[in-house]
Structure 1
Amino acid sequence: MPGQEDVTMKGMQPEDVFELTGVSDPRVSPDGRTVAYVVWRIDKETNAYPSAIWTRAVDGTGEPRRLTSGEHRDIEPRWSPDGT
């Protein structure tokens, strides 16, 4: 089409996998207001999957809060019955 540049898209390359991050294991607090979840990434240098536990309000307000450093594989967040 006139006015459009020729754009060449490259498909995903094997090295692109190291740029991936993911979110898993969401757990809603007993009062239903907060969700705890895991954010992971791939560390190419150590061949590991470090992850951190985060929380955020279920309604999306406020900023996400990281609870663990993410230097290791922090997984499986859980709430106590009183919500802590």
Structure 2
Amino acid sequence: MKTNSLLLAVAPLAVVYAAPASAQQGAPFSSQDLVTLSRLGGTAVSPDGKTVAYIVTTTDPGSYKRTPTLWVRSADGRGQPRRVDTGGSASDPAFAADGALYYLSDRKVGEAETT
């Protein structure tokens, strides 16, 4: 059941984030579009099944730098997704039994205090 809820919540996001701007203008799909296509990454469902966390990786078309971003939204798809400020790149979201959200980050310890 939780897997079905996850798929129902995340599938529309994949379509929205995966549609490049050039496709909306009727231009043919190019290799540039393929390289810079936003990608849906790791997902996690909270223990109560009400919240979904997922990673969307975007690619800058000029530098090809990839930026993974953590998003959270309700599993029923209602409301807007919320971007989680991780202070760096995030990956591998997971929920603890108590509902706390965990993820891996490339942020260095003490970085906020020194910069």
- Name which of 51, 63, 68 aligns with 2:80: 63
Moved beyond 4 Å, runs of 4+ = none
The answer to which structure has the higher strand fraction is 2
Q: Which structure's relative contact order is higher, taking Cα pairs within 8 Å and 6+ residues apart?
A: 1
Instruction: Work out the number of aligned pairs and report it.
Output: 75
CA contact (8 A) 1:33 1:57 kept: yes
The answer to which structure has the higher helix fraction is 2
| Unaligned 5+ runs, structure 1 | 1-8
CA–CA distance in structure 1, aligned partners of residues 70 and 50 of structure 2:
17
With structure 1 as the length reference, what TM-score do the two structures score? 0.72
Query: How do residues 1-84 of structure 1 correspond to structure 2 at under 5 angstroms?
Result: 10-68=27-85, 72-84=88-100
With structure 2 as the length reference, what TM-score do the two structures score? 0.55
Higher Rg of the two aligned structures: 1
**What RMSD in Å do the two structures reach over aligned CA positions?**
2.2
**Percent identity over the alignment?**
32
Measure how far apart 1:25 and its partner are. 1.3
